[in-house]
Amino acid sequence: MYGGGNTFEGIKTDSLSQEDPVKLAAFEARIARGEKIEPTDWMPQLYRKQLIRMIEQHAHSEIIGALPEGTWITRAPGFKRKMALMAKVQDEVGHAQLLYSAAETLGKSREQMIDDLINGKSKYSNVFNYPTFTWADCCFISWLVDAGAIVNQLANAKGSYGPYCRALERICAEESFHLKYGHHCVIYLASGTAKQRQMFQEALNRWWPPMMHFFGPSDKISAHTEVLMRWKVKMGTNDEMRNQFLDMYVPKIWELGFTIPDPNLKKNTETGKWEYTEPDWEEFKRVINGNGPCNKERLEVRRVAEARGRWVREALKSPKAAYVTPLA
């Protein structure tokens, strides 16, 4: 699970002038040919830095993303839902494991990344800083937040860094279960009792604004990312991703007879683009910067989990198992 916003801050390209121009040209040519970059290849510092940041944020989003749905893991109604939700949240933890490993190949240790997360030094998707009040919120995430994540992940799987692409390939294969499961849950709420329908409508009302934020600020106000696009680090603009999501899922939400809480939402038949009320980007910034409804709890839970697990890790630490950078 993962959203835009990762490239929200502008990047400085000054360091590029210090790179070896011959190596840089060969590197860019390789990407242009559609060949993947592997860990032992030469790469510009900026590429390494941006990739670590992006993959790390993606990994954090998975491990933190396990929490809002995990809120309902002990309360899922009936065997089918109980087992599915357990497996689904487990997958998200697994995604974090895969993504941290991919980032590790670039030279940052997993523990350092986790420390940076807990200390508030690195970010994760803003969407997970919202609470899941009812079972229906949990269903919203399983279906639609995962759907949004899949839009991003499928695009990123075509990126230039080999280990990240391999991790994403596996992740995308697992996500198809999440998406189907989530839709299944929502279909059952939609076709169920009045109470069940109402539960989902309320969840939709709560989650629509964070869902629109999910893909990151609109292109008009986002930082320039041309070089990241050329290097196939960023694979599409925030608005393109958002539009793709709306295209695929708004009709499915309407089909179930729910109302999306945005009176201006409609597809412009001429441009093929969706029109909507501009999301509140000030709110987005507030949440990304740590002041959303659940930021504190999410980080505190991770901190406590780390602290509780420390005796296990310390007990088994040995020079024999010293850390090295993984291979691929």
Partner 1 sequence: MNSLDPRVSRLPQIQEPVSLKAPLDQFGTFEVFVQPKEGKPFQHEGIVHAPDIELAWVLAKETFTRRFTCTSLYVADTRDVYVSPLTEGESNAYDPIPETRESGIKKTYEIYHLAKRGRQHVHAGTVQAATPQHAMTEAKLQFNTGKTVYNVWAIANDAIRFTTPEEKELWLTLSEKKFRDASDYKGGDKLKEFLERKLIS
Partner 2 sequence: MNNLALKELLYKMADDQLILGHRNSEWTGFGPLLEEDIAFSSMAQDKVGQSLALYTLLQTLGESDPDTIAFTRNASRFHNCILVELPNQEYDFSLIRHFLFDTAEALRFEALTNSAYEPLAQLARKIRGELRYHTLHANTWMKQLGSATEESITRLQKSLEAAFPYALGIFETSPYEAELIDQKIFAGEAALKEKWLARIESVIHQTQLQLPDWKTLTPVYGGREGKHSEHLQPLLDEMSEVFRIDPTAEW
Residues of the shown chain interacting with Fe ion in the complex, contacts defined by CB under 5 A: 1, 62, 65, 92, 95, 146, 175, 178
What is each CA distance from 4 to 30, 98, 181, 297, in whole angstroms?
26, 19, 24, 22
Close Cβ partners of 45 (under 8 Å, ≥ 6 residues apart): 15, 19
Q: Are 37 and 30 in contact (CB under 8 A)?
A: yes
Site map 159..188 versus partner 2, x via CB under 8 A: --------------------------x--x
CB of 247 to partner 2, least distance (A): 29
32 forms part of the interface with partner 1 (CB under 8 A): no
Nearest C-alpha neighbor of 224 from the set 10, 1, 23, 51? 10
> Which class for 196: exposed (0-12), middle (13-18), buried (19 or more C-beta within 10 A)?
middle
Q: Which does 307 bind (CB under 5 to 8 A by kind): partner 2, partner 1, Fe ion, none?
A: partner 1
Contact 195, 135 (CB under 8 A): no
The one segment of 55-63, 224-232, 253-261, 268-276 that binds partner 1 by CB under 8 A: 253-261
Q: Where are the beta strands (DSSP E) in the chain?
A: 266-267, 274-275
Regarding 25 and contact with partner 1 (CB under 8 A), the answer is no
Stretch that binds partner 1, among 57-65, 168-176, 213-221, 275-283 (CB under 8 A): 168-176
Among 11, 16, 24, 87, binds partner 1 (CB under 8 A): 87
Among 9, 20, 35, 280, binds partner 1 (CB under 8 A): 35
Distance CA 239, CA 111 (A): 34
Return phi, psi of residue 274, to 5°.
Answer: -80, 145
| 19, interface contact from partner 2, Fe ion, partner 1, none, CB < 5-8 Å by kind | none
Nearest to 170 by CA among 91, 103, 65: 91
Per CB under 8 A, does 188 bind partner 1? yes
Dist. CA 110–CA 112, nearest whole Å: 5
Beta bridge partners of 37: 161
Number of residues that bind partner 1 (CB under 8 A): 77
Strand partners, 207: none
Q: Does 20 bind partner 1 (CB under 8 A)?
A: no
What would the x/- binding string for partner 1 be over residues 233 to 252, using CB under 8 A? --------------------
Quick one: which segment of 175-183, 214-222, 258-266, 312-320 binds partner 2 (CB under 8 A)? 312-320
Residue span binding partner 2 (CB under 8 A) among the ranges 9-17, 30-38, 83-91, 320-328? 83-91
Q: Does 309 bind partner 2 (CB under 8 A)?
A: yes
For residue 229, how many other CB atoms are within 10 A of its CB? 14
From the list 49-57, 182-190, 233-241, 258-266, the region that binds partner 1 by CB under 8 A is 182-190
